[in-house]
Amino acid sequence: MLRRLPMPVDRPPAHKLCTAWIEAIRDAFVVLLPLTLFGVVATVIVQFPWPIGRAWMAQSFGPGWASAAEDIVRSTWGVLGLALAITVAAMLAQRAPRHPGREPLPPIWVAISALVNFMLCVGPAGPLTTQALGSASILTGIAVGLATPTLLWPLARWRPLARLAVGYDSNPVFFHAIRLTLPIAVLGVAVKLAADFAWRFPLSVAGWPEAIQRWLGSRLDADWIMTPALTLLHQVLWLFGVPGGKVVNTHFPAWLTNAGTPPSHDHVLLPLLTGFVHLGGSGATMGLLIAMAIAVRDGPTRRLAQLSWLPALFNVNELLLFGLPLVLNPRFVLPFLLLPVLLTLPPLIALHAGWLTLLPVQIPWTTPVLVSGWLLTGSWVGVALQLLGLVISTLVYLPFVRRNEAERQARRVLEFHDASSAIVADGQRADSPLRRADHVGVIARGLLQDLERSIGTPGLWLAYQPQHALDGRAIGVEALLRWTHPGYGAVRTDVAIALAEQGGLISRLGERVLDEACACKARWNERGLEALTMSVNVSPQQLGEPGLADTVARVLHRHGLRPGELEIEITESSGIPVSRVADDNLAGLEALGVRLAMDDFGMGHASLLHLRRFRVSAIKIDGSLSRDVMAHPVSADIIRAIAALGHTSGARVIAEFVETREQRDRLAALGCSVFQGYLHSRALPAEDCLDYLLDARRHDAARASADSDFR
């Protein structure tokens, strides 16, 4: 007898599920920013408050300009609910945990299921219109987007619904399409039944607003309660993405006194809300924009604020509502809900005290702040009240903006470190960070573009670290790349090099570094430092590209340097290419008379084999070995062996990261002859390094003179 199989149910912790829901909704609003921005621009055009502007647009764009703008509004805001259902479902499916051995829920099929379910939800309401699919159905879209992947996941794993599944050796698209057919259909039927039930037995609020208004109206000055209460309801609705103004106008008309009618203390004055509370749109977001201008100096938040200023002048703030977003944003929930309630008090006080008189006029809701204050009151009192509201809203939003910006900056630093680590670690793998679709890939590609723009600018510069012989004489310097990013500050050199290698910039960057280092050496020669050797790093990728020796010869000729003044350090740790082009480049450099050195020797790819390919003038001990020489005997043994090999081949042995005299003496005893590190000097800018070298030369001369006198 077969047992009945229960439907599997995954129950993640409630807090994780809620977090995933909130993040999916937030990301969906961000994904829909192009649609939002397009609709915002069209809304501003359609609702432009001044006749002269409308006349100019009619003259410039023809009589059909308003109709065209309305079509755009219908095509954007008119599908917002449907778009939210699809994008929320897809975002939530992407965030679903990946369980080993279980098939994932592909976002494209989740989005298709959400599309069907949304249409099933709004279908019983009557003919499908842009109102049914658009902003009036935002809450429905969010609910469908959350419910679809949450319910489809266990349905897809329920064995009775897997009867259509084909073998896993089939085409992946066909495999998932067949596997999810029955679960999508079953979920659609369930949604249809639930929607029909909901529409057949609706939750009616008819009569409630009127009864409350009559009860409050019997009290003296009921507007003190009704105005803040209606404002709070308006904000709560917008917090969940539901257009609060439409709901209030539809279900609470008995509470409202429209513009142009005499004021009444048992009603809510609509001009008071539009003119003195919702400054810049729902939530008094003009103050938020001012706070962002004060506290946010760079980044996407500042860019969003810049894009939002023009619409906000006309009280259109959907870019902030759905782009920041303010909708379902726990960081801004308190000011978004309570600030408008607070802003109802100054105009109510002024109205009851007789300081404020509202004129019986009607003005478009898109009339800018300060202008609307004058038109509604005919005096500077209205303007002053709006200015007071802007000051209050700015002061209330400012600490929340600063906290949000601090969190963003901290998150930005962590993401930058993630990207930097991935760039260095994964640079030689097929899945380069530049190909990734997550935040690491976005940052890596952005850094690559910034690096390309930085070549030839002060942001990309060279520091020079002196190299000293055992007797203390300065005998050379190493040119080290430094990149000061305008947003992230100092970027690690290995990150910049790996990024240039992965992005195809290494030849251009390498030639620029070589040219700048040789130009610096030419300037130093004029100060009598011809005997110093300038060491420049070359990436193994550059060795694999034709013409490297010709490039070096051209740069040396340009700056009037002898080949022996230049030493090319080949970074061995990433693998020197074994090819005819690389061998030709090495032979060309050797024939030119340029010194060749092996950098990071002992920790890379086939170090000993490379010594057979070209004559090495110097071997630089890998920094990890020289740093550990005092604590690890094995490191000392490796250094001793490398030094013996270098002496046999006639190469100098250079130790870097030398920080103490004891470390230097130990390295010297092991066979090292040149030392580079903080014991002598850190890497210095060109002018500072020149001063250091001149001082070192004077010191060496004075010491030599003293030794001569002693003898």
The residues carrying an active-site annotation are 656
Q: What is the CA radius of gyration of the chain?
A: 36
Cα separation values, 105 from 82, 180, 679, Å: 21, 9, 58
> How far apart are the C-alpha atoms of 377 and 356, rounded to whole Å?
7
Q: Are 277 and 374 in contact (CB under 8 A)?
A: no
Tokens describing residue 519 = 């130009």
Residue 700: what are its φ and ψ, rounded to 5°?
-65, -40
Instruction: Supply the DSSP string of 513-552, one letter for each residue.
Output: HHHHHHHHHHHHHTTT-TTPEEEEEE-HHHHTSTTHHHHH
Residue 515: what are its φ and ψ, rounded to 5°? -65, -45
Contact call for residues 401 and 339 (beta carbons, < 8 A)? no
- Which residues are CB-neighbours of 67 under 8 A, at least 6 positions away? none
**Is residue 667 a contact partner of residue 655, using CB atoms and an 8 Å limit?**
yes
What is the C-alpha separation between 678 and 673, in angstroms, rounded? 16
User: Exposed, middle or buried: residue 561 (CB in 10 Å: 0-12, 13-18, 19+)?
Assistant: buried
- 424 Cβ contact partners less than 8 Å away, ≥ 6 residues apart: 492, 494, 495, 498
For residues 373 and 275, give the distance between their C-alpha atoms in angstroms, rounded to a whole number.
6
Token pair of 48 as six digits:
């432009």
3-state secondary structure of 242: coil
**DSSP alpha helices (H): ranges in 96-180?**
107-122, 130-133, 138-157, 172-179
* CA distance from start to end of the chain: 110
Asked if 139 and 242 count as a contact pair (C-beta separation under 8 A), the reply is yes
Q: How far is CA 530 from CA 1, 205, 685, in A?
A: 95, 91, 19
**Which H/E stretch holds residue 72?**
helix 65-76
Q: Hey, is 674 helix, strand or coil?
A: strand
Phi, psi (rounded to 5 degrees) for 477 = -140, 155
Assigned token pair, 621: 């001990």
SS3 content of the chain, % helix, strand, coil (to 5): 65, 10, 30
H/E stretch holding 595 reads: strand 595-601
Is 369 in contact with 376 (CB distance < 8 Å)? no
